[in-house]
Structure 1
Amino acid sequence: MPPAVADTSIRPPSLAILIAVSWINPLALNIFVPSMPGMIVALDTNAEVVQLTLSLYLGAVAIAQLVLGPLSDMFGRRPVVLAGMALFIVSSLICALAGSVEVLIAGRILQAAGGCAGIVLARSIVRDLFEQEKAASMIGYVTAGMAIAPLFAPAIGGVLDQFFGWRSSFFFVAALGVAVLIAAWFGLSETNMNRGRSSGFARMFDGFAILARYPLFWAHSLTLMLTTGVFFGFLGAAPFISSHVMHLTPSQYGFYFALIGLGYMTGNMFSGRYASRIGTRRLIAIGTVLALAAALVMLAAFLADIVHPIAMFGPMLFIGMANGMVIPATMSGAVSVRPDRAGAASGLAGSLQIGGGAIASYMITTLITTESGEIIALPLAIASTSFATAALIGGIATRFLHREE
C-alpha cells in the first residue's frame, strides 16, 4: 500500500529538492572554518571576535526556527522557503564583500536565519505529505543527505581559501543558493493545506501554547535535545582533547571525525529504510540504548586510563549512528502531535535541539579545562553518559505517553 498523502492533489517535491534546501545551512556553517585565521589578519581583529561568526550563527538558527515554523503555518511552506533562500543569497554576498568584522557578523546572522528555513520546513513538508511512520523514514533520508555537507564543507573551504582567498567561500555558497532557489521555485509546490487559519503576527505563537499542553511533544523534543546534546558536547570538547591529550594533528582529527559522519549517515539510512516497518517508538528505543552503551564504553576506557583516539572516536561512531536513528524519529513524533501545527512544532523542537546542543557544547568544553588550563578527557565521557541516560529516560516516556493517547 502506498504511503498516505495529506492531499492527493499536492505535487510532492522530490527528495533531492528537500535535501538541497536542507544542506545549504550546514554547508554555510562549516565551509569557512579553515579561513578563520586569515580573517583575523584581513579584517584586523582577533580570534575571539571571529569566533562570534560561529556562535552567533548557531544562535540565529535556534531563534529563527521559532519564527519560520509558525510563519509557514500561516502563509505556507513554499513562500517561506523561497524568501529564506533569497535572504541567504543576499546575506552570503554581504559576507563576501564585508569590509569589517562587524559587517561579516551581521551577514552571518542573516545568512543563518535565511538558510535554516530549508531545515525547518523540509521536515514540515514531509509531515504534510505522509503519516508519522513514513514521515520518519523520509526525514531519515533527508537528514542522511544533509549530513554530507559538514563532512566535506571544510575541505572545500580550505581549497577555495588557498587558491582564491577567504571571500571565495561566501561567493561559492551564494552561487549554490541561487541554484537551490531556482530548483525550489520550479520543483517545490505548496504542501500546507491548513495555511491561513491564523491571522496576525502575534497569533503565530499560538501554536507554541497549544503544543506546550502536550506532554508527548515535550517527551519527543527533550529526547531529541538530549541525544543531540551528546554529539554537540563532543563537538565542543573533542578538538581540545585531540590536540592536547591525544596529540593528534588537524588532519588526523579530520580522519577520525569522518568516522562519526559515516555513523550518522548509516543511522539515517537505517531510519529511512526501516522506520516505516518497525515504527518510531522502536527506533527511538534502539537509538537511545545504543547511545548510552557507546557512552559507557567511552567512560570505562577513560576510567581505565585508555585515552586513545579509538577510545573516544570509536564510541562516537555509534553515538553518531544513534543520532541518525533518534533525530528523524523524535522529530517526526514532535510534528505529528498536532499535524495542523507541524510548522510550529518543527520550529520549536528544532530550536530546543540547537539551543540545547549549544549549551551542552559550551558546558562540556568548560568542564574539560582545569583551573590551571590543563585539558582532561574524563568529563567528556561523564557528561556524554549523563546526557545519554537522560535521553533514554525521555525515550521511555514517549512510549508510555503514546499508550495513553
Structure 2
Amino acid sequence: MSAPSSKPDSRLVALMVLLVLFSPLAIDIYLPAMPLMATEFDVAPTRIQDTISWFLVSLGVGQLLAGPLADRFGRRPVAMAGIAIYAVSSGMAWVAQSLDALLIARLLQGAGACATSVCAFAAVRDSFGAKKSGQMISYLNGAICFIPALAPLLGSWLTHMFGWRSNFSFMMAYAVVAFVLVMTLFRETRPADTDTSGRLLSPSRYWQVLKEPVFVYHAVLCLLAMSVILAYVTSAPVRLISELGLSMEAFTLWFGTNAAFNIFASMTAPKVIEKFGSRKTLNAGMVTLLFAGCLMAALSGTQQAWAFMLPVIVSSFGFAWILGSAAGKALEPFGQRAGTAAALLGLFQMSGAGTLVSLTQRAGLSEPHLLVFHMLLLAPGLFVLWSSAGKRWHTAEC
C-alpha cells in the first residue's frame, strides 16, 4: 500500500463514517422508547439501561478479537463480518419476547459493531498517518454526533407509528444497505508491513501496546470522557421524561440541541488543535469538563430541564477536545499494529466506560450527581498532564 496521505479521500471518509455510525445508532435510536420498554417488560428503568451498558461492554471486549483479526485478514473482510452479525442480532432484538433475550441480542449486536468501529479507526490510521489521524478522528466523532441529533427523532416517530421494536428493524435495514456499500466500494487499506506474526490472541500482541505509557494515559482519558457521555445518555430519559415529565417531543428537542453543540465542537476540534496544539486543547478539554461538573452540582437542586442540560452542553466541548487530542495520540506509536491499538483503545473507551457507568448507576446517586461524579473524575488526569511525566507523554509540540 502507498504511504499515508494527508489529503482526505472523500469516498473512504464517507465509508468510515458509515462504519462508525453503527454504534451510536444502536444506542440513540430507541432512547425515547425506553420508558415504554420498561413498562412492557415490567422491569425497573435501570434494567432497560442495561441494554445500553451490555452493548457497550460487548462493543469493547469484542475489539480484543476484532483488532487482531483486522491486522491479520484486513479491514474490509472483518468490517463485512461485523455488519452481518449486527444485522442478525438486530433481527433477534426485533423479535425478543423477554428482557433476557433482548440483552443477549444486544451483546451480539455490540460484537458486530465493535468490528466496524475497529476497522474504521484502523483504516483512518492506515490512510492518514500518525499526526493527521487525530484530526480525522475528530471529524469522525463529529459525524457520530449527528446520530444523537437525528436518531431520537426517527426513533420517536418509529415508536409512535409502529412500536418500539421497529427501531431494531431499522437497524437491521441499515446494516443490509451498509453491507452492500462496503462490499462494493471499500478498498483494503491495511499496510503491507502490518505485523501479523504470532498467535491471533497472543498476550504479547496486546502487551506491546499496553506497555507504552503514552497509550495507557490517553486511553484512560478517552475512557473517562466517554463515561461522561454514556452517563448522560443513559440518565437523560429517566431525568427528563420520568422525573421532570417532559414529553417525548420535548426530550428529543433537548437531546438534539445538545447534539448540535456536540457536532459543532467535534467538527471544530481539529481547527482548535491546529491553532493551539493538542496539549493545550487537551488541557482545555479537561478544565471544561471539570467546570461542567461544578456547574451541574450547583444546579442539581433545580427541577428544570435547562438546569440538567446546560452543564451537559458545556461538557460537549470538553468531550470533543479530549477525544480529538487523546485518541490520535494514543494510536500514534503503532503504525504496524494499528488494528490492535485501535481495538485496545475501543476496549478502554467503550467497555471501560460501560462498566464504570453501570457500577456507578447502582450507587444510588441521582442523575445530576451521577454526572457530577463522572465529570470530576477527570481531575487526576489533569494533574498528570501538568506533571513531568505528562509533559513527556504529551509534549507541547504535538
Counterpart of 1:399 (choices 386, 391, 395) is: 391
Distance in 2 (CA, whole Å) between partners of 1:24 and 1:197 is 27
2:214 corresponding residue in structure 1: 216
> What SS does structure 1 have at the residue aligned with 2:190?
coil
Matched, 1:348 2:338: no
2:197 corresponding residue in structure 1: 198
Counterpart of 2:361 (choices 362, 365, 370) is: 365
Whichever residue aligns with residue 214 of structure 2, its letter is: L
Residue 36 to residue 403, structure 1, CA distance change in 2 (3 Å): closer
Residue 323 to residue 376, structure 1, CA distance change in 2 (3 Å): closer
Provide the alpha-carbon RMSD of the alignment. Answer: 3.2
Distance in 2 (CA, whole Å) between partners of 1:30 and 1:281 is 31
104-113 or 29-38: which moved more? 29-38
Counterpart of 1:324 (choices 320, 323, 342) is: 320
**CA drift at 1:41:** 7.2
Q: How does 1:147-166 map to 2 (within 5 A)?
A: 147-166=145-164
Q: How does 1:1-400 map to 2 (within 5 A)?
A: 5-6=3-4, 13-36=11-34, 46-47=43-44, 50-193=48-191, 194-195=193-194, 197-203=196-202, 205-242=203-240, 248-302=246-300, 308-367=304-363, 369=365, 375=366, 377=368, 379-380=369-370, 382-396=372-386, 398-400=390-392
**CA drift at 1:81:** 0.7
1:372 corresponding residue in structure 2: none
**CA drift at 1:184:** 1.2
Distance in 2 (CA, whole Å) between partners of 1:53 and 1:177 is 19
Distance in 1 (CA, whole Å) between partners of 2:169 and 2:160 is 15
Whichever residue aligns with residue 324 of structure 1, its letter is: A
Unaligned segments of structure 1, at least 5 residues = 370-374
Contact map agreement 2:58 2:111 (CA 8 A) in 1: yes
Contact map agreement 1:36 1:50 (CA 8 A) in 2: yes
Aligned length: 391
Distance in 1 (CA, whole Å) between partners of 2:155 and 2:136 is 30
**CA drift at 1:259:** 3.0
* TM-score (ref. length: structure 1): 0.84
**CA drift at 1:248:** 4.5
Q: Any idea what the Cα deviations from partners look like across 1:118-169, whole Å, max 9, x if unmatched?
A: 2222111111112333111111111111111133222212322332333322
Residue 104 to residue 227, structure 1, CA distance change in 2 (3 Å): closer
Identity percentage of aligned residues: 26
Contact map agreement 2:214 2:330 (CA 8 A) in 1: yes
Residue 367 to residue 254, structure 1, CA distance change in 2 (3 Å): farther
Contact map agreement 2:49 2:234 (CA 8 A) in 1: no
Distance in 1 (CA, whole Å) between partners of 2:228 and 2:49 is 22
* TM-score (ref. length: structure 2): 0.86
Distance in 2 (CA, whole Å) between partners of 1:22 and 1:131 is 19
Contact map agreement 1:287 1:323 (CA 8 A) in 2: yes
Contact map agreement 1:298 1:312 (CA 8 A) in 2: yes
Contact map agreement 2:68 2:339 (CA 8 A) in 1: yes
> What SS does structure 2 have at the residue aligned with 1:339?
coil
> What SS does structure 1 have at the residue aligned with 2:317?
helix
Whichever residue aligns with residue 390 of structure 1, its letter is: P
Contact map agreement 2:224 2:374 (CA 8 A) in 1: no
Unaligned segments of structure 2, at least 5 residues = none
58-67 or 275-284: which moved more? 275-284
Distance in 2 (CA, whole Å) between partners of 1:263 and 1:102 is 36
**CA drift at 1:77:** 1.2
**CA drift at 1:292:** 2.0
Distance in 1 (CA, whole Å) between partners of 2:264 and 2:348 is 24
Distance in 2 (CA, whole Å) between partners of 1:89 and 1:376 is 33
Contact map agreement 2:54 2:354 (CA 8 A) in 1: no
> What SS does structure 2 have at the residue aligned with 1:166?
coil
Distance in 2 (CA, whole Å) between partners of 1:62 and 1:72 is 15
Residue 255 to residue 120, structure 1, CA distance change in 2 (3 Å): same
